[in-house]
Amino acid sequence: MIRDQFMELARKRGSGKTFCPSEIARQVDPNNWRSLMEITRLVGKELVEEDWLLCTQKGNPVDPSRAMGPIRFCLSSNCTKKV
């Protein structure tokens, strides 16, 4: 479910447009989204490892496993080749 939300939002935003993982958590459970942040970031990390998404921090690509603080996700440049 979280994975599907990631890909739906990424495709909706389109190439080059980023989003915060909290947007995904809020879609899944608007009243309890904070408790979903750890799993949401983990799912985002998996999608980065699979080259579906890119993770950024302050506009620069980062490894979501090592990033501290706010991160954002967007479609990977390779994603359009897979769809």
State how far the Cα of 83 lies from the Cα of 75, in Å rounded to an integer.
11
Q: With residue 48 as reference, give the H or E element that holds it.
A: helix 37-49
| More confident site: 82 or 32 | 32
The tens digit of pLDDT for each residue in 28-77 reads 999 999 999 999 999 999 999 999 999 999 989 999 999 999 999 999 97
Question: What angle separates helix 21-28 from helix 2-13, to the nearest 10 degrees?
Answer: 120
Q: Which domain holds residue 51?
A: 2-82
The number of distinct structural domains making up the chain is 1
Q: What is the CATH number of the domain that holds 77?
A: 1.10.10.10
Question: Is the pTM here over 0.85, yes or no?
Answer: yes
Contact, 48 vs 64, CB < 8 A? yes
Q: Give the three-class secondary structure for 64.
A: coil
